[in-house]
């Protein structure tokens, strides 16, 4: 639960006006500090940023000013840089997010080691009674083709049973957490005659569905790498939904780069040399029985090109 002082500080910031000589993105400015809801208790919001599309052009040309007089020239340059993997100009732009997410999602997320992160400390503070509970439609069995994903369906009553176990587990564990700390929901002592254990020890009983929060600052190049992986259909649903919100925020921040990113990364396809030879062979109407393309890439090719 947010402290009243924190809410007051946030309102003061939102009602303030600042003048600056640096470039700004007006559409992103309008949603600064605004939380965008994700999952049941999570959110994403932008705290600060540096640069816009013109900053990328400026860095590429090592010049002052806001790029060229023609927007189309800036657009073409950004597209060229991204499509040819000239990444340095995109590293000049940075963005800082405040994110609330389940701990198991955070453990996937933190593998992207190219960001600066400061996480809420459960050694210093007491965690809230908030846990991620999936929607019933998102409860699915283990995929038979993907060792780290889910696929298929489960009978509805069985889904409800599994969800009740998840909820009950969170409830029991949080009750144990409070008992170990010897505090109630308001952080007050439950039993004045009993001494609780330290927060750094009590947190061990909490499940991975507990929510944590962090500030996450990253440059634009590495943000795009994160989004390309986590917005992908093969990523876990619970991290995809965060990537979707962040992709929408990126569009408000750097619309020209967003457009180039979608065309050259999200909606594009990278082929192995074997796949290229396979497509050449198919274009010549030759049989594909001798192809060296691995099974997964071959299935992908057939799906995309309707072969």
* pLDDT value for 130: 96
Please compute, for residue 93, the number of CA atoms within 13 A of its CA located in the half-sphere on the CB side: 25
Are residues 237 and 138 in contact, defined by beta-carbon separation less than 8 angstroms? yes
Most confident among 122-131, 146-155, 252-261 (mean pLDDT): 252-261
What residue ranges do the domains of the chain occupy?
A: 1-126+209-268, 273-304
Residue 299 burial (CB count, 10 A): 12
d(CA 18, CA 11): 15
Are residues 154 and 140 in contact, defined by beta-carbon separation less than 8 angstroms? yes
The per-residue pLDDT for range 66-121, each reduced to its tens digit, is 555 577 889 999 999 999 999 999 999 999 999 999 999 999 999 999 999 999 99
At 235, phi and psi to the nearest 5? -75, 160
Q: Is the dihedral of CA 72, 74, 77, 79 positive or negative?
A: negative
- DSSP-assigned letters across all residues of 51-86: --HHHHHHHHHT-SSSS-S-HHHHHHHHHHHHHTT-
Check residues 305 and 172 and name the one with the higher pLDDT: 172
Domain 1-126+209-268 architecture = 2-Layer Sandwich (3.30)
Please compute, for residue 72, the number of CA atoms within 13 A of its CA located in the half-sphere on the CB side: 0
Q: What is the dihedral of CA 213, 215, 221, 227, to 10 degrees?
A: 20
Query: What average pLDDT does this structure show over 123-131?
Result: 93
Contacts of 73 (CB under 8 A, 6+ apart): 67
Residue 203 known to be catalytic: no
Does 240 have pLDDT greater than 80?
A: yes
The per-residue pLDDT for range 241-270, each reduced to its tens digit, is 999 999 999 999 999 999 999 999 999 888
* pLDDT value for 304: 85
The per-residue pLDDT for range 188-221, each reduced to its tens digit, is 888 889 999 999 999 999 999 999 999 999 999 9
> Which of 230, 263, 265, 303 does the annotation list as catalytic?
230
Q: Which residue in 90, 75, 23 sits closest to 50, CA to CA?
A: 23
Residue 107 burial (CB count, 10 A): 12
Query: What average pLDDT does this structure show over 180-188?
Result: 87
* pLDDT value for 265: 92
Counted residue by residue, the chain has a size of 307
């Amino acid at each position: 639960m947010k402290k009243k002082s924190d809410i007051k500080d946030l309102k003061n910031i939102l009602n303030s006006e600042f003048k600056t000589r640096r470039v700004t993105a007006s559409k992103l400015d309008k949603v600064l500090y605004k939380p965008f809801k994700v999952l049941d208790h999570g959110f994403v919001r932008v705290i600060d940023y540096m640069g816009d599309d013109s900053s990328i052009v400026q860095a590429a040309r090592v010049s002052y000013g806001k790029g060229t007089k023609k927007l189309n020239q800036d657009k073409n340059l950004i597209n060229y840089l991204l499509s040819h993997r000239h990444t340095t100009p995109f590293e000049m732009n940075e963005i800082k997010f405040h994110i609330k997410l389940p701990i198991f999602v955070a453990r996937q997320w933190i593998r992207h080691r190219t960001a600066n992160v400061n996480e809420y400390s459960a050694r210093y503070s007491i965690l809230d009674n908030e846990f991620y509970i999936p929607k019933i439609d998102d409860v699915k069995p283990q995929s038979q083709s993907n060792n780290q994903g889910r696929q298929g369906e489960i009978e509805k009553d069985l889904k409800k049973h599994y969800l009740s176990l998840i909820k009950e587990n969170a409830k029991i564990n949080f009750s144990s957490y409070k008992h170990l700390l010897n505090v109630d929901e308001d952080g007050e002592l439950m039993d004045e005659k009993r001494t609780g254990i330290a927060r750094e020890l009590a947190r061990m009983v909490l499940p991975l569905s507990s929510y944590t929060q962090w500030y996450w600052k990253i440059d634009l190049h590495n943000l795009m790498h994160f989004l390309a992986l986590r917005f992908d259909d093969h990523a876990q649903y619970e991290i995809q939904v965060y990537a979707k919100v962040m992709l929408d925020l990126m569009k408000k921040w750097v619309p020209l780069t967003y457009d180039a990113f979608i065309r050259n990364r999200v909606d594009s396809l990278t082929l192995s040399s074997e796949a290229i030879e396979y497509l050449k062979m198919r274009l010549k109407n030759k049989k594909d029985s001798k192809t060296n393309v691995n099974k997964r890439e071959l299935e992908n090719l057939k799906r995309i090109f309707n072969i």
